[in-house]
Amino acid sequence: MSHPVTQDSSRKLSLTGRSADLFCRVIDNFGDIGVCWRLARCLARDHGWHVRLWVDALDALARIKPQGAAEPGVEVRQWNDDTPLCLPASCVIEAFACDLPPAFVTAMAAQHPPPDWINLEYLSAEAWVEGCHGLPSLDAASGLTKRFFFPGFTARTGGLLRERDLSAQRDAWLADAAARKFDLARLGMAVDAGALQLSLFGYESPSIATLLEALAAHTQPVQLWVPESRSLTVAAEALCRPLRAGDVVRRGALSLHVLAFMDQDDYDRLLWQCDLNIVRGEDSFLRAQWAAQPMLWHIYPQDGGAHLTKLDAFLDRHAEGLPAEVATRLRALHHGWNSANAVPVQDWQTLLGDLPHLASHARQRALALASQDDLATQLVMFNQPPI
């Protein structure tokens, strides 16, 4: 069934800045909606755009914005086969090849000139991305041309999603002891002075059990913060007890704290607080890099091991500048974490010893990446109307 397009001019985005319809289909977990929500907010806050964010699963958005998704300049709407759609905005963004409603494409083709049609792709550090960024593709059914927009880590890609003031926010929060204490207490976090701080937000992995074993045997007290996620099931099995938000489990030097699933902005603060962040997917993976702290990536698994090629491409860039032996160990640990076999306890202990090298490197990497234009800024420049 096609999506009808209404002619309700009172609902059409029009205004001094540009406008966008951003379509998001939630495939699995929260990465798709996480990226799309952040992009919509960046376009509105940093560039004065007016964005309609079309989401097929509003419950997923509610999980990452539990206090509500109200944001000036962003209008959230649900779309499915029965949802009436408005006249298209001046820019239409199809996130991650989600396939626009046919009636909406028809309405785009009826406009003169038609909207800019952007296919926002997934983030990758692979070299081929540079050659594909910005390429046009003809949609045979409508006669319209869409252009591919590839986020990436180099100047020849679309950049990385980042709010204009993110680094300043992070640094100000870390420097404000009272703000940190208030926010962490609000999240149910009582941080022990002198304890190593780790976060874990990932998929299922047998290496979680050996991680817990290594942390329990560490020479320094460790607090491991685990927001509700698929990792929690494996942790519960390793500890031989059920786990739910608010629980604290102590084993040797380790205190494991289970946190409720939290707002995206609060998750940023958790990442800023920790000395090592284990993250997953795309959204939390990128936010961990902006946290300027050491990280370990649990990449989303793909058929045929395609994700491992993507992982290696990232590690090639991410490890630049590290001492060779540290880079080798970091690569091996990433592959172990993303395999079906558990990382040995000794390898986790070695990682903890490498944290000073990795912390300095993470800060340098975050500074270098922040020197490039961010994704929203590049998308705005990509869609400048002709003079």
Dump pLDDT digits (tens) for 137-188.
999 999 999 999 999 999 999 999 999 999 999 999 999 999 999 999 999 9
DSSP state of 1: -
pLDDT above 70 for 120: yes
Tell me the mean pLDDT in the region 54-59.
90
pLDDT above 90 for 380: yes
Residue 339 binned pLDDT confidence (cut-offs 50, 70, 90): very high
Looking at residue 28, what is its pLDDT? 67
Query: Which residues contact residue 183 at a Cβ distance below 8 angstroms, ignoring those fewer than 6 apart?
Result: 173, 266, 269
The tens digit of pLDDT for each residue in 246-269 reads 999 999 999 999 999 999 999 999
pLDDT above 70 for 5: no
Looking at residue 97, what is its pLDDT? 84
Looking at residue 31, what is its pLDDT? 77
pLDDT above 90 for 302: no
Tell me the mean pLDDT in the region 25-50.
90
pLDDT above 70 for 10: no
Ramachandran angles phi, psi of 259, nearest 5°? -105, 150
| Cβ(345)–Cβ(306) below 8 Å | no
Ramachandran angles phi, psi of 330, nearest 5°? -65, -40
Looking at residue 169, what is its pLDDT? 97
pLDDT above 70 for 2: no
Cα–Cα nearest to 12, from 115, 89, 94: 89
| Cβ(209)–Cβ(239) below 8 Å | no
Q: Is the pTM of this model over 0.95?
A: no
CATH class of the domain comprising 166-370: alpha beta
pLDDT above 90 for 15: no
Tell me the mean pLDDT in the region 42-58.
94
Our CA angle for 382, 384, 387, nearest 5°, is 140
Q: Supply the residues annotated as catalytic.
A: 32, 282
pLDDT above 50 for 103: yes
Tell me the mean pLDDT in the region 86-109.
92
Residue 305 binned pLDDT confidence (cut-offs 50, 70, 90): confident
CA–CA distance, 217 with 252 (Å, rounded to integer): 6
Structure tokens at 304: 């045929």
Tell me the mean pLDDT in the region 299-321.
92
Residues of the chain above pLDDT 70, percent: 94
CA–CA distance, 263 with 287 (Å, rounded to integer): 13
Residues of the chain above pLDDT 90, percent: 81
CA–CA distance, 214 with 219 (Å, rounded to integer): 10
pLDDT above 80 for 8: no
pLDDT above 50 for 205: yes
CATH class of the domain comprising 9-160+373-382: alpha beta
Looking at residue 306, what is its pLDDT? 86
Looking at residue 29, what is its pLDDT? 65
Tell me the mean pLDDT in the region 301-316.
91
CATH 3.40.50.2000 residue window(s) in the chain: 166-370
Length of the chain: 387
Looking at residue 367, what is its pLDDT? 97
Structure tokens at 116: 């800019």
Tell me the mean pLDDT in the region 74-96.
89
Looking at residue 300, what is its pLDDT? 86
Looking at residue 17, what is its pLDDT? 58
